[in-house]
Amino acid sequence: MKIETGYLPNLGIVQSKLDSNIIEKLWNLVEKAKKDNINIKESLAGNITSSLMLDLKESSFLNASIVDLLDEYKKNLGTPFKGLRAVEVNTKFNLDSLWVNFQYQNEFNPSHNHSGGFSFVIWLKIPTEFEQQSKLKIARESSDKTKISNFVLIYTDILGQIRECVYKMGSDKEGVILFFPASLKHQVYPFYGSDAVRVSVSGNIGVIQEDLK
């Protein structure tokens, strides 16, 4: 008897490590955002110190990376909005928004999702290591040590059960871009014992669908 196993189709995530020259340009955008000081906290869910808008006009250096991630996603995972339109359409993508988050200890980002077709997060500076955070008294006596300081994706499996994909935060994640459907719930847990700031850049990619003539 030959037994075969398989997975039911589902969406997913893609990630990559950005080149150092792109990270340098992102830091320059962050410094510019500090001077421009366009606060967008009221439009975001984060319970954090500061979220500032980044200049989209100066972000074209991200385009090639975003196109590569989009292509990889569509090739291997399909599109999160397939079947949204009954007629055949031409789908285009556009970087709609870009911002930087400054998170200090005890601060957090509650469960939320974004607008658009896709979203991404790029971690620029992570001042703590999960392994050390999990050994703090607040975590080590808990039955679940996996959440402290970490980034978590939240989704349902084929049985309707809530699942979590935990990204353990540490210096190894600096420079990583995580690319996922904008409607996918996610959250950021607080870290402790450090006065340094965690810096991340997030963006939303809009979807434009046009009927094919």
Q: Which residue has the tokens 């500061």?
A: 50
**Residue 149 and residue 190 in contact, taking contact as beta carbons nearer than 8 Å:** yes
Longest dimension (CA), the chain: 68
> Is 21 contained in some domain?
yes
In which band, very low, low, confident or very high, does the pLDDT at 79 lie, cut at 50, 70 and 90?
confident
Residue 166 lies in a domain: no
Structural domain includes residue 36: yes
Task: Give me the number of domains the chain comprises.
Answer: 1
Residue 205 maps to a domain: yes
In a domain, 112, yes or no: yes
Domain of residue 66, residue span? 14-127+175-211
Q: Across-strand partners of 63?
A: none
- DSSP track, 33-82: HHHH--B-GGGS--BSSEEEE--GGG-GGGHHHHHHHHHHHHHHH--TTT
Domain CATH number, residue 88: 2.60.120.620
Tell whether 123 is covered by a domain: yes
pLDDT band at 42 (very low <50, low <70, confident <90, very high): very high
pLDDT tens sequence across 169-201: 999 999 999 999 999 999 999 999 999 999 999
Q: Which CA distances in Å does 14 have to 7, 33, 171?
A: 18, 27, 19
What pLDDT is attached to residue 81? 66
pTM, full prediction: 0.92
Quick check: is 56 in a domain?
yes
- Given a cut of 70, whether residue 5 has pLDDT beyond it is yes
Q: Distance (Å, rounded) from C-alpha 116 to C-alpha 203?
A: 10
With respect to residue 40, please indicate whether it lies within any of the assigned structural domains.
Answer: yes
Residue 87 has pLDDT above 50, yes or no: no
SS3 call for 207:
strand
Q: What is the mean pLDDT of the chain?
A: 92
Residues 49 and 46: their CA atoms lie apart, in Å, by 9
| CB-neighbour burial class of residue 4 (10 A; exposed 0-12, middle 13-18, buried 19+) | exposed
What pLDDT is recorded for position 134?
A: 97
Model pLDDT, residue 85 = 45
